[in-house]
Amino acid sequence: MITSAKRVFLSAVALTLCNPVCADTLVSTQDEFRQAISTATPGDTIIMADGEWNDFEMLFSGVGSSDEPITLTAQNKGSVIITGQSNLRLVGEYLVVSGLVFKDGYSPTNTVVSFRAASGRLASHSRVTELVIDHFNNPERFETDFWVMMYGQHNRFDHNFLAGKSNAGVTMAVRLDSENSRENYHQIDHNYFGPRPILGSNGGETLRIGTSQYSLTDSFTLIEYNYFDRRDGEVEIISSKSGSNTFRGNVFFESRGTLTLRHGNDNLIEDNVFLGNGVDHTGGIRVINKRQTVRNNYLSNLKGHRFGGALVVMNGVPNSPINRYHQVEDSVIANNTIIESDHIELAAGADSERSAPPIRTTFQNNLIINAEVKDSIAVHGDISGITFSDNITSGILVFPSNQGFEARTLSLVEGSNGLLYPGAALADIGVSKSLSVLDRKDTGPSWYPKPGYEEAFDRGDVSTVVGGNDTLSDVVANSLPGDVIELEPGEYIVSKFLAIAHPLTIRGVTDGETRPIIKFERSTLFELKDGGSLKLEGITIDGSMAPDTYNNSVIRTSRYSMLNNYELYIDDVQVRNLNVNHSFHFLKVAMHTMAENIEIRNSDFQDITGHILALNRETDDLGIYNAEYVTIQNSSFINIEGSLATIYRGGTDESTFGPHFRLENSTLDNVGNGSRNSSQASVSLLGVQSTFISDNQFTNSAPIRVIHTVGEPVTTLSENVFSNTMAPIIREFQRPVL
């Protein structure tokens, strides 16, 4: 149990007290900083001068006292900017850091803020508050590092802003790997965890408490009143891997993934609010292990399924190794409200290995409501070890148990806290009316703005270009994010790469039958730089002037790692003559790039020696992939030697929701038959999690090949017509032996 008596935190008041002997020292250089740190005594404050501190590895070492900590702060909070190759380490006791901003750089070591200096040299009774880490990313997407590593005991991390981590690695972790980091009583509260984009791999968690190795140890970490805003990294938003943690009063807003009790026992999840707003793969709480309590949580409009559902109770592995799935035992799931959520999963993951069902577990006083009747509770195995009682439902088709559920028809009204409650009074069912909902503005430092919502495309200026030699180059180079470039009908000859560094629309103006036609002389027409996204509408692209070398493309990503996921929209585009040499692709991507969304509509492609969408660069089988959503509709493809799409997601982990692939109402004629098309498929999908191929006409083409790897991929093929085309091949993965 958690005893509040053990929690001794530095209060905000301590920051403002100073007895007569303590000193405020303003430092302006790295040497002055080091000098001030080395001579600081309890009660002292080191004040960093406003401005930019570049390439600064800050070591804050000292011993303060409970009444008189040593404080490191900014001359003006938010005006001390740490940039370049920089980081911060704390070692000692009773240290306080506040007011610093890390941006425009990344750590040269594996951590930005670490509560230790080196192995064995830890910080305890220390606090980091009102700190900002904003897109402080290693430029290599799959160079793993961490923003905050908590070691030691009795530390507090509060009112901080952490947003935009885009490279691999947990945003924040509590480490228990040494004796004096366990039973740590850390407090993590009132932080703003801002948007984290889809990583497209394992390693995108927001917060991890412990590791499997020490997961049977108590951590006693309190995680309360934090705001998780669009944290989409991977399937786990929080991964609790230790015992006796409390997750209380947090808000999860439009965040893909779940709060997962992955390892460790005796954890408490209460008073949290999950607002999915219908966003794909938004999830709630996943329960594994012993003596877990999940109560008074509000889960609304969550669309996740399987391990990412609104509420998931897993099956375990009998006598599980420390790093697999322990059986759910003696757990309580009570007084939760689940509204308009698609999937509650019981005995989830049951298979030959995970054969130990939940036991001695209660599921009671929960409220489950859908506006329209649907089948949102799934049972995957034996749930006789779960006792259901006093649950009330509305709009649920099938109950997991004959008893413990009462169906009603309930309407919802908004409570004073903004949450929805049944119009009818239901005593002690669902969340309490007094549940307090954390306001986003009460998290993070008050002085640092939180990100809004902005459209990527079509929000800037519109400029018009006429045909000729290189008339496009300068306009593209001088464009701003969201701009639109309109092309008059005519021929455009492009002798240089067009670098797309931000969202940009290129739109043809058609004059009767005449359209703008773009020809290009380099190995690609468009190169998407990190941050770039592209929308093409109403143009014709002709590859006949491309160089007589293999491996050309119309669009390619940066050849380097891209931290930003990109979007690509193709509508009413004709693509011709990509055939001056072999392997001429429409879209070619590099390793460690990620398309968040690719859509092709109302377009036609003809005479192409490569692939249309070559999304297969991650062949290391590490669970990484190159595109989250790919949609092709109402388009035609004729004489394509490569595949219409080749998407590769290898690896055996279950950390991602994608890739997703959708092909509808399109025609393929002689697609995929080229001798260099190694998959020998018109559509080649490996490890894709969601496939929908419907209402298409395949003629004289190579077959569709779908290889399932891990997870429970959903593959739907319907209403396709195959003429002189082998039937689709769908099979489970087997390693090819070369």
Residues that bind a copy of itself (CB under 8 A): 108-110, 118, 140, 142-144, 168-169, 203, 211, 469, 493, 495-497, 521-523, 547-551, 559-561, 583, 591-592, 619-622, 676, 678-680, 684, 686, 705, 707, 735-738
Largest CA distance in the chain: 91
Cα separation, 328 vs 314, in Å, equals 7
CB of 123 to a copy of itself, least distance (A): 17
Beta carbon nearer to a copy of itself, 456 or 591? 591
Taking the complex as a whole, the smallest distance from the CB of residue 693 to a copy of itself amounts, in Å, to: 18
Q: How far is the CB of 177 from a copy of itself (least distance, A)?
A: 10
Please, what is the minimum distance in Å from the beta carbon of residue 398 to a copy of itself?
Answer: 39
Q: Look up tokens 């009660």; give the residue.
A: 43
Cβ nearer to a copy of itself, comparing 434 with 495 = 495
Q: Which of 379, 333, 323, 385 is nearest to 357 (CA)?
A: 385
Do 485 and 465 contact (CB within 8 A), yes or no?
A: yes
Beta-sheet pairing, 121-124 with 116-118: antiparallel
Question: Could you tell me which of 245, 98, 115 has the C-alpha nearest to residue 159?
Answer: 98
Is 433 or 676 the residue whose CB approaches a copy of itself more closely? 676
User: Which residues of 145-231 form beta strands (DSSP E)?
Assistant: 146-150, 156-158, 161-163, 172-174, 187-189, 192-193, 207-209, 222-224, 227-229
Q: How far is residue 18's CA from residue 34's CA, in Å, rounded to a whole number?
A: 22
Shortest reach from residue 48's CB to a copy of itself, in Å = 23
Residue 3 in contact with residue 218, Cβ under 8 Å?
A: no
Q: Considering the complex, what minimum distance in angstroms separates the CB of residue 12 from a copy of itself?
A: 33
Q: Which is nearer to a copy of itself, 66 or 213 (CB)?
A: 213
CB 122, CB 180: distance < 8 Å = yes
Instruction: Please count the other Cβ atoms lying within 10 Å of the Cβ belonging to residue 395.
Output: 18
Spatial separation of the C-alpha atoms in residues 526 and 497, rounded to whole Å: 6
Residue 418 vs 547, nearer CB to a copy of itself: 547
Q: How far is the CB of 307 from a copy of itself (least distance, A)?
A: 20
To the nearest whole angstrom, how small is the minimum distance from the Cβ of residue 737 to a copy of itself? 6
Taking a C-beta distance cutoff of 8 angstroms, is the pair 308, 344 a contact? no
Return phi, psi of residue 4, to 5°.
-70, -20
CA distance 239 to 245: 11
Pairing mode of beta strands 704-708, 683-686: parallel
Return the number of the residue (309 or 728) whose C-beta is nearest a copy of itself.
728
560 vs 692, beta carbon nearer a copy of itself:
560
Integer-rounded Cα Rg, in Å, for the chain is: 28
Q: Which is nearer to a copy of itself, 206 or 603 (CB)?
A: 206
- Best CA proximity match to 348, nearest among 330, 325, 371: 325
CB of 322 to a copy of itself, least distance (A): 14
CB 678 within 8 A of CB 702: no
Residues counted in the chain: 738
Provide the minimum distance between the beta carbon of 495 and a copy of itself in the complex, in angstroms, as a whole number: 5
Residue 32 or 140 having the CB closest to a copy of itself = 140
Q: Which is nearer to a copy of itself, 436 or 619 (CB)?
A: 619
